[in-house]
Amino acid sequence: MQFRIVKKAEIGKKKRALIFLGSIFAALFVSGLFLAFLKLNPFQVYIAMLQGSLGSAYRIEQTIIYAIPLLITSLGVAIAFKMKFWNIGAEGQILMGAFLASYFALNYSHLPRPLLLLIMFLAGFVGGALWGIIPALFKTKWGTNETIITLMMNYVALKWVVYLQYGPWKDPNASGFPRIANFAESAVLPELMGVHVGWIIAVLLTILVYFFLNKSKKGFEIAVLGESVNTARYAGVNIFSTVVLAMVLSGGICGIVGFIEASAVEQTLTKDITGGVGFTAIITAWLGALKPQWIVLASTLFAILIQGSSYIQSAFGVSTYSAQLLEAIVLFFVLGSDFFTRYKLIIDCPILSRIKESGK
């Protein structure tokens, strides 16, 4: 008996969706086995997760608050990924955006609130964009591997913020505790309908990124470049400016997350401001097939998942890391399921085929 693989003809949207859903269920099943191994009832755990993330108005708000940075970061990451520029430096870009926004929040708190917030917004964008441009320059000039550069820059940004937190920016009034002072009222984003206005920024950015990627010349060039650098050159795309622009946007959008989280959630700058969102966003961007409309869905689902896991931590005593494990398992299954949209498996069994033929 032998297995072999043959290519499938293009499959329809319905089938594709079915395969996708199937892979999610398979992931939940495997995670369920894992939970059962820990002597927990998977159904109870899953139901608790839903209750923990959507069970009350407050919990829904908390889930949305988590979904906002995840969604925006995913959008930023998606722009780079569309170009097959593996920007896994969102963590660093968020930190640098937060850093630059915090600089204004801490030093210019006397400015009127709208003006200060606008400056902080722009500062956040610039901070992230700067952190995004550096790997883009290296990549276009010398072909330096962007994956590792962006990742290393995460650590550099992290160490930088740690340095600020323990050194020059340490709050003298915190009785020796290494933390940076809280922002003044004027540097904090207001709320609207129970959640800080970051959600409006998220919605607007989703629409903007959608139009940018699908309807604009630059977005088109980014997509072409992602498919084939050679073709892009043949079509007269300016590779340098396109890569740099894409990374300015990708990093800049992640930087905005830094601004939002510092201003609205933490109301200060801390080294933990990203909450790992920069990595989770890679998953959600990928699950959303790099399409803003699907990324909204993926980010929301993951926010539910993560919020739910932090709830079951207290309810069942399961580690918060279980969320990360579950995320990875879902991603494994979705990555693997793509195979079944492109190929089909044939099992060659001489005896079987002989039976078939003699039956004819």
Phi, psi of 86 (to 5 degrees): -80, 80
Q: Which listed residue (1, 12, 13, 143) binds other proteins by CB under 8 A?
A: 143
Binding flag, residue 197, other proteins (CB under 8 A): no
Binding flag, residue 151, other proteins (CB under 8 A): yes
Q: Which is nearer to other proteins, 152 or 192 (CB)?
A: 152
Smallest gap, in angstroms, from Cβ of residue 167 to other proteins?
6
Q: Which is nearer to other proteins, 51 or 341 (CB)?
A: 341
Binding flag, residue 293, other proteins (CB under 8 A): no
Q: How many chain residues touch other proteins (CB under 8 A)?
A: 70
Dist. CA 75–CA 72, nearest whole Å: 5
Binding flag, residue 349, other proteins (CB under 8 A): no
What angle in degrees, to the nearest 10, is found between the helix axes of 57-82 and 292-316?
A: 130
> Hey, what long-range contacts does 197-203 have (CB within 8 A, 24 or more apart)?
197/264, 198/65, 198/68, 198/69, 198/72, 198/260, 198/264, 199/64, 199/68, 201/68, 201/72, 201/256, 201/260, 202/67, 202/68, 202/71, 202/72
Phi, psi of 280 (to 5 degrees): -60, -35
How many alpha carbons lie under 13 Å from residue 180 in its C-beta half-sphere?
Answer: 27
Contact 74, 295 (CB under 8 A): yes
By CB under 8 A, which span of 44-52, 117-125, 251-259, 275-283 interacts with other proteins? 275-283
Q: Which listed residue (190, 194, 203, 233) binds other proteins by CB under 8 A?
A: 233
Smallest gap, in angstroms, from Cβ of residue 288 to other proteins?
13
DSSP structure class, residue 170: B
Binding flag, residue 236, other proteins (CB under 8 A): yes
Dist. CA 271–CA 273, nearest whole Å: 6
Coil, strand, or helix at residue 327?
A: helix
Binding flag, residue 241, other proteins (CB under 8 A): no
Q: Which residues bind other proteins (CB under 8 A)?
A: 2, 4-10, 86, 88, 138, 142-145, 147-149, 151-153, 155-156, 159-160, 162-163, 166-167, 215-220, 223-224, 227-228, 230-231, 233-236, 238, 279, 282-283, 286, 319-325, 327-329, 331-332, 335-336, 338-339, 342-343, 348, 350
